[in-house]
């Protein structure tokens, strides 16, 4: 590896990059004592209405296909007061969409020392929701084994958090899930989906899926396809398995051919397209509040609370970063078309 890279450092050491570079070129030892300050870095934002706020870094789950615990280290939660302060300042500055980020937001706070009160992700988002203003907050990513009843029951009571959950599946087969070290079964996952939908009937669920994991048979893949259809996902971030050096899955035989992986990915996309065509059709005639995030030629593009893309004609006075109400007039699987109300 030293023939490829001159220097490797963990993301938590980003805040001392100037010192790291200085020490590297001076051939000195790198001081690691300040690495915990990474989550306190004051970021610069590429957008003036959309921002990403980390609540934690690293991961303790060690899924066999994932390098995060090795590249980012063990899970480290950011103090709640820092997160709330940053979100408050963003809203005061006019930001309209904020996404809370963590490899597993559901275990936020488990590593924090506290003396008088319990810190949890549910408490964090409840406090954020109290901040006055017109804005939306999303969060990624949930782990099916850790998502709590507290969070599920809290979601329909919140003002600023859309009814949207990203719930990575990865596989619908129990043996593959065990090989992935995911700590849930197909039955447990579908029971969780049922509980979420019973509590939040209008929830939109999205997911992550890996096809072609080492040893995955056609029959095992069909289990995944079955869960896609039962869970009624409205977006899937799909990956074809590829070995990552340093992970446990790297040592497994990559037994599924590239052509077979492509075939299975195509089947997932076909099932998803059928779901989207059906679900989007039910939106025709409805009024949706969208946040404009792009302008191109004579068109404006925005997203609904459930993060569906909407296209409308440009209108005087409507700008990127504005909330507007739109009547949906036509749909495809991947886009809605509407007119300004």
Q: Quick check: helix, strand or coil at residue 231?
A: helix
For 292-340, what is each residue's pLDDT tens digit? 999 999 999 999 999 999 999 999 999 999 999 999 999 999 999 999 9
> Residue 246 has what pLDDT?
87
In 204-324, where does DSSP find H-type helix?
218-231, 258-281
**144: nearest Cα among 181, 92, 89:** 181
> Residue 44 has what pLDDT?
84
> Residue 187 has what pLDDT?
98
The domain limits of the chain are: 1-38, 39-281, 287-340
Would you tell me how many other CB atoms lie within 10 Å of the CB of residue 17? 11
Query: Whole-angstrom Cα distance, residue 106 to residue 148?
Result: 7
Map tokens 């005639």 to a residue.
Answer: 285
Query: Whole-angstrom Cα distance, residue 169 to residue 235?
Result: 12
Rg of the chain on CA atoms, in Å:
22
> Residue 35 has what pLDDT?
41
Phi and psi, residue 200, nearest 5°? -125, 80
- Give the pTM: 0.88
Residue 145 CB burial class (10 angstroms; 0-12, 13-18, ≥19)? middle
Q: Which two tokens stand for residue 72?
A: 């980012």
Q: Are 10 and 71 in contact (CB under 8 A)?
A: yes
**154: nearest Cα among 133, 124, 194:** 124
**285: nearest Cα among 333, 326, 315, 324:** 326
> Residue 245 has what pLDDT?
87
Q: Could you check whether the bond before residue 296 is cis, i.e. omega within 30 degrees of 0? A: no
Class of the CATH domain delimited by 287-340: mainly beta
Q: Which two tokens stand for residue 97?
A: 């969409």
Q: Quick check: helix, strand or coil at residue 52?
A: strand
Query: Whole-angstrom Cα distance, residue 97 to residue 49?
Result: 6
Query: Whole-angstrom Cα distance, residue 248 to residue 257?
Result: 20
Q: Which two tokens stand for residue 318?
A: 């409507």
Query: Whole-angstrom Cα distance, residue 180 to residue 170?
Result: 9
> Residue 34 has what pLDDT?
45
Query: Whole-angstrom Cα distance, residue 177 to residue 220?
Result: 10
> Residue 239 has what pLDDT?
97
> Residue 21 has what pLDDT?
65
Helices 218-231/258-281 angle, 10° precision: 10
Q: What CATH number belongs to 39-281?
A: 3.80.30.20
38's enclosing H/E stretch is: none
> Residue 25 has what pLDDT?
56
Looking at the chain, how many residues does it have?
Answer: 341
Map tokens 């009160």 to a residue.
Answer: 117
Q: Quick check: helix, strand or coil at residue 139?
A: strand
Query: Which residues of the chain are modeled with pLDDT < 70?
Result: 1-38, 113-117
């Amino acid at each position: 590896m030293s023939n490829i890279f001159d220097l490797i450092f963990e993301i938590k050491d980003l805040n001392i990059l100037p010192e790291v570079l200085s020490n590297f070129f001076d051939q000195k030892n790198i001081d690691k004592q300040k690495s915990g300050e990474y989550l306190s870095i004051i970021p610069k934002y590429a957008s003036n209405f959309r921002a990403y706020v980390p609540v934690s870094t690293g991961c303790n789950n060690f899924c066999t296909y994932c390098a995060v615990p090795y590249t980012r280290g063990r899970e480290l939660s950011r103090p709640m007061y820092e997160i709330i302060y940053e979100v408050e300042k963003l809203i005061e500055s006019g930001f309209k969409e904020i996404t809370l980020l963590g490899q597993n937001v559901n275990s936020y706070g488990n590593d924090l020392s506290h003396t008088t009160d319990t810190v949890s992700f549910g408490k964090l988002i409840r406090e954020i929701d109290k901040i006055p203003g017109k804005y939306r907050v999303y969060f990624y990513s949930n782990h099916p084994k850790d998502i709590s009843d507290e969070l599920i029951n809290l979601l329909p009571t919140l003002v600023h958090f859309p009814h949207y959950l990203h719930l990575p599946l990865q596989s619908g087969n129990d043996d593959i899930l065990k090989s992935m070290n995911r700590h849930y079964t197909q039955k447990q996952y579908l029971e969780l989906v049922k509980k979420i939908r019973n509590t939040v009937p209008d929830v939109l669920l999205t997911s992550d899926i890996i096809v072609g994991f080492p040893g995955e048979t056609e029959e095992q893949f069909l289990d995944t396809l079955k869960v896609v259809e039962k869970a009624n996902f409205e977006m899937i971030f799909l990956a074809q398995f590829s070995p990552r050096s340093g992970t446990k899955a790297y040592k497994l035989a990559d037994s599924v051919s590239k052509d077979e992986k492509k075939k299975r990915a195509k089947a997932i996309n076909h099932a998803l397209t059928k779901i989207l065509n059906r679900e989007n059709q039910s939106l025709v005639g409805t009024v949706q509040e969208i946040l404009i995030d792009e302008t191109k030629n004579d068109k404006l593009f925005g997203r609904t609370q459930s993060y569906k893309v909407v296209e409308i004609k440009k209108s005087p006075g409507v700008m990127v970063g504005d909330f507007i109400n739109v009547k949906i007039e036509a749909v495809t699987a991947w886009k809605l078309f509407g007119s300004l109300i």
